[in-house]
Amino acid sequence: MDVRENHEELVEEVLFTEKQVQQAADRCAEWLRGIIQNQSCVLVFYMLEGCRRFAEMLNHRLLRAGVDKELIPIRTSSYNETTQCSEVVKIEDDHIQKDQLQGRTIVLIDDILDTGGTMNSVRKRMLEYGADKVQICVLLEREIERKVNIKADMAGLKTQRAEYLAGVGLDYKGMLRELPYIAVIE
Ligand SMILES: O=P(O)(O)OC[C@H]1O[C@H](OP(=O)(O)OP(=O)(O)O)[C@H](O)[C@@H]1O
Ligand SMILES: Nc1nc2[nH]cnc2c(=O)[nH]1
């Protein structure tokens, strides 16, 4: 893929290199392996579209460690190709068997925890379905003061930068998801 096709001209700065992202995925996979192996009946969900790549990285690492665990996708949408989080988070969870969540530990995985709006809505939904406990793992946590009280139990990377970010699944107006590193957008 050439640079123009990848829209790398929009990249202002590389915030986390590909190597840092891969190492962060290693740490998250190790954390997830511990949860899956030490607690019974854990269900793991990840948020499409942005988290598809991070979920693939985790899945690959779990399999390499001998853990064959289904990571279940849920489609959520808060930004709708804008750079502002909307108040209403769309959650598509019709394919989930709600009665199977009763009393279970749920792990929610996403690429970024930013305002926390998306994660908070999904966590609330899981608890409404009867989940006992919800644990949160993200590739990247933006350390800001949030309106909602939510924090990652495991964050592979952390930043205090305020700019919009892209790469490793994070898109900028539908572009740049394929970048292997996380970039600040101009
Ligand atoms: O903490 P928040 O401020 O809620 O932001 C985090 C969410 O924003 C992005 O998703 P988006 O709604 O852009 O959809 P996408 O996954 O299809 O990119 C990202 O993938 C997270 O799910
Ligand atoms: N692409 C992208 N998606 C986000 N969702 C929440 N914050 C961000 C961000 O900085 N970049």
In order, the DSSP letters of the chain are --TTTTTGGGEEEEEE-HHHHHHHHHHHHHHHHHHHHHSTT-EEEEEETTTHHHHHHHHHHHHHTT---PEEEEEEESSTTSSS--SSPEEE-TTS-GGGGTT-EEEEEEEEESSSHHHHHHHHHHHHTT-SEEEEEEEEEE----SS----SEEEEEE---S-EEBTTB-BTTB-TT-SSEEEE-
Instruction: Tell me the C-alpha distance between 172 and 7, whole Å.
Output: 10
pLDDT bracket for residue 29 (50, 70, 90) = very high
pLDDT bracket for residue 36 (50, 70, 90) = very high
Residue with the larger pLDDT of the pair 100 and 1: 100
Could you tell me which residues are beta bridge partners of residue 62? Answer: none
Query: What confidence score (pLDDT) does residue 39 get?
Result: 85
Under 8 Å CB-to-CB from 41, ≥6 apart: which residues?
Answer: 103, 104, 105
Least confident range from 79-88, 105-114, 131-140: namely 79-88
CB 89 within 8 A of CB 77: yes
Q: Is the per-residue pLDDT at 121 higher than 70? A: yes
CA of 41 to the centre of ligand 1 (A): 27
Instruction: Tell me the C-alpha distance between 106 and 44, whole Å.
Output: 6
Edge-to-edge order in the sheet of strand 182-185: 11-16, 182-185, 165-166
pLDDT bracket for residue 138 (50, 70, 90) = very high
Q: Is the per-residue pLDDT at 90 higher than 70? A: yes
Q: Is the per-residue pLDDT at 120 higher than 90? A: yes
Q: Is the per-residue pLDDT at 70 higher than 90? A: yes
Pocket of ligand 2 (CB under 6 A): 79, 112, 114, 164-166, 170-172
Query: Using CA positions, which residue lies closest to atom 17 of ligand 1?
Result: 49
Q: Tell me the mean pLDDT in the region 28-49.
A: 94
Domains of the chain: 20-161 (3.40.50.2020)
Q: Tell me the mean pLDDT in the region 45-52.
A: 95
- Ligand 1 touching residue 167 (CB < 6 A): no
CA of 79 to the centre of ligand 1 (A): 6
Q: Is the per-residue pLDDT at 48 higher than 80? A: yes
Q: Which atom of ligand 2 is nearest to the CA of 164?
A: 10
Q: Measure CA 6 to chain center.
A: 22
Q: What is the pTM of this model?
A: 0.93
